[in-house]
Amino acid sequence: MFHSLLLNIRLFFRGAVLSYIALFRWFTPPAYLASKVIAPLSYMLFFVVLGTFATGKESASFYIIGNSVQMAAMSGIYGVTMSIGGDRWDGTLPYLFATPANRLALFVGRAAIHVLDGILGVFLGLFWGITLLGLDVSKTDPLVLSVVILITTFSTSGFGLLLGALSLLTRNIMFVNNTVFFLLLIFSGANLNLSLLPEWMQTISWSLPLTRGIASARKIISGSAFIEIAPLMGTEFLIGVLYILLGFLLFRWFEFKAKRKGTLEVM
Amino acid sequence: MASIRPFYLTKYLRVIASTFEMTFRQTVKDAFILFAVLFQPLIIAMLALWMLKDKGGQYIIFVVIGSGMTGLWSSLLFISGNGITVERWMGTLESLVAAPTPIQVVVIGKNLANVLQSLGSMVVSYILVSFIFGYPLSIAQPWLFLISLIITVVSFVCFGIIIASLFILNPDVQRWQNGLEFPVYILCGFLFPIALLPGWTTPLSYLLTPYWAALALHASAQGTGTIANISFAWGVMLGYSILYLFLSKRLFRVILKKARVDATLSMH
Amino acid sequence: MNAIEVDNLRRIYRPVMGIFRRKVKEIVAVDDISFYVKPGELFGILGPNGAGKTTTVKILVTILIPTSGSARIQGFDVVREAEKVRPRIGFILGGERGLYWRLSGVDNLRYFASLYHVDPGISKSRIPYLMELVGLEDRGKEKVEGYSRGMKQRLHIARALLHDPDILFLDEPSIGLDPIGAREVREVVRNLQAEKKTILLTTHYMFEADALCQRIAVINHGKIVALDTPEALKEVVKDLHIIEVEVFGIPSEVIERLQAKGFIENLAVENVEQRQVLLIQTARGSEAVPDILAILNGLRVGKISVREPTLEDAYVRLVGNKGE
């Protein structure tokens, strides 16, 4: 029992590290800098300036916080889906499905490193916010903010796992990723007061990860206590778990179907 | 020599037309292009419509054009920018280079297809906004707008040649590609005036042809510009286009020479 | 004037290895070769993979610059006057890449016709003619991605002929094709020869060179090791006989011992399932058999035959793949 647990933990981390290496194997320092620093910074600047153009300079922190937390989706969606879908591109999927490895460890391990990467991304966003855009964090409890970021990144990566499993069914992973990432810019409330949206869109917003995380981060930075956001964070965590389970079920279903029809490579 | 020029011109125009046609046919079903020219600008348009709702005035046509410009730039950066690289991956670059047509002519045809394709996103968001959202839309100075649009296409096509040749000349530059998309959105005043940016960025905006394109299109659509400042923007765009064409001729000479010495026209 | 003239051509590649410790290694792909091809001639370059055939063709079709030496097509220098060379030649560079997969075969041809400034009126009749010539007349409207490898290679040949060039370069036109596909390609080449085109063909199949070419340059490690008609090349081995010995599981020391024997000019080993066939070239003919059997003593030996040499044997001798 203990031995098998250890084995699964090792598998989990092996998957995690490999998926990170796989993701960045074509990367050189400039490419890394462009994708992980310049691109997120310019996304954020664009939406913050657009936001202040819309609602005035005093609302800047609304957009800064929203777009910083949105960074969790960069790793959580692009990173995670690529590490799942990448196997299909590389043609390694049949080998993976032939192993006796614990599927959950295998599946979730691929997301783990991207949770770390996502947390880093959110902190980097906030760092830009503080240094370049004058975000005021004097009333913020850093520990609580960290918890918010951790949970939000976790739930977003869970969503990424579902998308990753979905991406096994399509040829165009990047198309799905891009579309979802940009739609989240609307639905997460990073750039909008969600009450502006039609009711049906608000329903979607609150069933997605990130929405509660962004709302909580805004509250914490403006000085709220943990207790005020605890229910939001609890739900955010559950949403993450739910998406992971959905993704995992889909992943197993895909494996089952694929083995049955022998369509691993052709889809 | 001068007497055979028109003869070449028709030949080259024919190449541009056939490259245009075949690029269009190849890319019309491409999911990435669908995203870059359609989905991304549409999502940005929707987002901006909600964000700028309280602005009033001409903001809707401003959003339609501005988000269309983002699509134009993204497709120029990612699709036209990779134009030569893709031929190299496919193994067709060697045949293109060895054909009697200068490769710049081919690149012009490809860029023209991409730019016109991404203008489609502006049309789609125009239709979407006016029909689905039910906003009334009108272009204040249609003739000035049309001329601005044509000059925009010309200047984007020429700018695309420079981007594609820089990317093929130096793969390190191409690695910055992901980091070049949004900075241009910011610097070129697609969806907000550059007056909101720190003063030191203004010269950078002036150096970018999309800035002048956005200026002319926004002003003629909203009717906020005078003929003088719109035609000044035209002049700058045309000036840049000539500069880019001139530069591209030299760049391509260097690139092709280097590629034939280093044996990099094909992948090994 | 010769159609193609090549003088002391050399091409060195300097690939950069490694990311951190950059090492530059020199590879001499073409090492001081000279030859000429007469108008209307079908000239073959025969050699193993990596001998420098493709590099030579790429230099001649103006997409690679030689390190030294020069080459002229109908008198025009391939480096300095590349733009004069290009309309005069057509080429294919083996393999299935280099086509627009999402377009149909006919669309591919139409596009390249415009790049070669073929008048639209002419290409309207020329494209169906070429599709028929390469046997693709029924598949022209289909997307290239659905073509077999052989169909793609034949489409390449049609592409090379669009502007009706005088000179054709065919680099490994039958590479990777099944026997039927390869035969179809050879049929096309023969038809082109009948049209009095100058053709430079590279191949690593000796029978292909033998069947098609008027003269053959045998190239190995970037150097021309022989250049003559197929008949004359066979002269190299005319005094020799070929002894084929079938053995089962021959150890490498025994092969080395055979190679050390003075009466064996050349030795090649072909693996056929669990057996090996030794191809021994010797001037002694059947007299050598007892000596060979003495060395093979203790091994299971199957069929033994003695035969006259073919061009393939000449090739083996010229490129010297002893014991390969």
Q: Are residues C116 and C260 in the same domain?
A: no
Q: How many domains does chain C have?
A: 2
Partners of B70 in the β-ladder: none
SS3 content of chain A, % helix, strand, coil (to 5): 80, 0, 20
Write the CB contacts of C3 (distance below 8 Å, at least 6 apart in sequence).
C37, C38, C39, C40, C41, C73, C74, C166, C167, C198
Could you tell me if C130 and C246 lie in one domain? no
Label residue B1 by pLDDT band (50, 70, 90).
Answer: very low
Together in a domain, C253 and C214: no
Tell me the whole-structure pTM to 2 decimals: 0.84
Q: Is the pLDDT of residue B67 over 50?
A: yes
Both C121 and C143 in one domain: the answer is: yes
Q: What is the pLDDT of residue A210?
A: 93
Q: What is the pLDDT of residue C324?
A: 37
Q: When comparing pLDDT for C245 and B133, which is higher? A: C245
- What is the rounded distance in angstroms from the CA atom of residue B63 to the CA atom of residue C132? 54
Residue B2: the pLDDT is 40
Q: Phi/psi at C223 (nearest 5 deg)?
A: -115, 150
Residue C211 lies in a domain: yes
Dihedral sign from CA coordinates of B56, B65, B175, B199: negative
Chain B residues within 8 A (CB-CB) of chain A? Answer: 31-32, 34-35, 39-40, 43-44, 46-48, 50-55, 172, 175-183, 185-186, 191-193, 196-197
Give backbone dihedrals phi and psi of A136, rounded to 5 degrees, phi first: -90, 115
Nearest CB to C83; choose among B19, B100, B263: B100
What sign has the CA pseudo-torsion C157, C163, C164, C166?
negative
| C268 and C164 inside one domain | no
- Residues A25, A26, A31, A36, Cα dihedral to 10°: -40
Q: What is the ipTM of this complex?
A: 0.89
Q: How many residues does this entry show for chain A?
A: 267
The verdict on a CB contact (< 8 Å) between B95 and C159 is yes
Shortest CA distance to A208 belongs to which of A229, A188, A185? A188
Residue C280 tokens read as 């021994």
Summarised one tens digit per residue, pLDDT across range A195-242 is 988 999 999 999 999 999 999 999 999 988 888 899 999 999 999 999
Residues C126 and C246 placed together within one structural domain of the fold: no
**C113 token code pair:** 């016709």
Those residues of chain A whose CB sits closer than 8 Å to some CB in chain B are: 28, 30-31, 33-35, 37-39, 42-43, 45-46, 49-55, 171-172, 174-175, 178-179, 182-183, 185-186, 191-192, 196-197
Angle at C254 between CA C252 and CA C255, to 5 degrees: 65
Report if residue C314 sits inside a domain: no
Question: How far apart are the C-alpha atoms of C132 and C139, rounded to whole Å?
Answer: 10
CATH of the domain at C251: 3.30.70.260
Same domain, C143 and C117: yes
Low-confidence ranges of chain A (pLDDT < 50): 25, 265-267
Q: Domain check: are C8 and C144 in the same one? A: yes
Q: Does C272 lie in the same domain as C161?
A: no
Residue A30: which of B172, C87, B102, C280 has the closest Cα? B172
Considering the domain architecture, whether residues C22 and C166 belong to the same structural domain is answered as: yes
Q: Is residue C324 part of a domain?
A: no
Q: How far apart (Å, rounded) are the C-alpha atoms in residues C157 and C93?
A: 10
Q: How much is the pLDDT for C282?
A: 85
- Tokens at B29, concatenated: 């079903």
Record: contact C83-B19, CB cut-off 8 A: no
- Please indicate, yes or no, whether residues C111 and C24 belong to a single structural domain of this protein: yes
Q: Hey, where are the domains in chain A?
A: 2-261
Q: Are residues C132 and C247 in the same domain?
A: no
Q: Which helix (DSSP H) or strand (DSSP E) does residue A88 occupy?
A: helix A80-90
Q: Is the pLDDT of residue B116 over 60?
A: yes
| Alpha-carbon gap, residue B232 to B227, rounded angstroms | 8
**H-helix or E-strand spanning residue C180:** helix C179-194
Interface test with A, best of B78, B133, B175, B177 (most A CBs within 10 A): B175
User: For strand C215-220 and strand C42-46, is the pairing parallel, antiparallel, or unpaired?
Assistant: parallel
Q: Which residues contact B254 (CB under 8 A, 6 or more apart)?
A: B169
| Residues A69 and A214 sit within 8 Å (Cβ to Cβ) | yes
Per residue, the 3-state secondary structure of chain B, as one string, reads CHHHHHHHHHHHHHHHHHHHHHHHHHHCCCHHHHHHHHHHHHHHHHHHHHHCHHHCCCHHHHHHHHHHHHHHHHHHHHHHCCHHHHHHHHCCHHHHHHCCCCHHHHHHHHHHHHHHHHHHHHHHHHHHHHHHCCCCCCCCCHHHHHHHHHHHHHHHHHHHHHHHHHHHHCHHHHCCHHHCHHHHHHHCCCCCCHHHCCHHHHHHHHHCHHHHHHHHHHHHHHCCCCHHHHHHHHHHHHHHHHHHHHHHHHHHHHHHHHHHHHCCCCCC
CA atoms of B193 and B48, how far apart (whole Å): 14
- Which residue among B15, B91, B261 sits closest to C97, beta carbon to beta carbon? B91
Strand partners, C42: C199
Interface contact flag, B92 C98, Cβ < 8 Å? yes
Can you give the pLDDT of all 324 residues of chain C as single tens digits? Answer: 899 999 999 999 887 655 555 567 788 999 999 999 999 999 999 988 888 999 999 999 999 999 999 999 999 999 999 999 999 999 999 778 889 988 999 999 999 999 999 998 999 999 999 999 888 999 999 999 999 988 999 999 999 999 999 999 999 988 878 888 888 889 889 988 888 899 999 998 888 888 899 999 999 989 998 899 988 888 777 778 888 888 888 888 888 888 888 888 888 888 877 788 888 888 887 888 888 888 888 888 888 888 887 777 777 777 765 333
Q: Tell me, what amino acid is at B119?
A: L
The answer to whether A186 and B40 are in contact (CB under 8 A) is: no
Nearest to B48 by CA among B35, B36, B34, B66: B66
Q: Nearest by CB to B98, from C62, C100, C110: name it.
A: C62
Residue C322 within a domain? no
Say if the Cβ atoms of A52 and B196 lie within 8 Å. Answer: yes
Structure tokens at C201: 């063909």
List the domain range (segments joined by +) for residue C277.
Answer: 239-308
Residue B89 — pLDDT band, cuts 50, 70, 90? confident
Interface contact flag, B25 C103, Cβ < 8 Å: yes
Quickly state the pLDDT bin for B125 (edges 50, 70, 90): confident
Number of residues assigned to chain C = 324
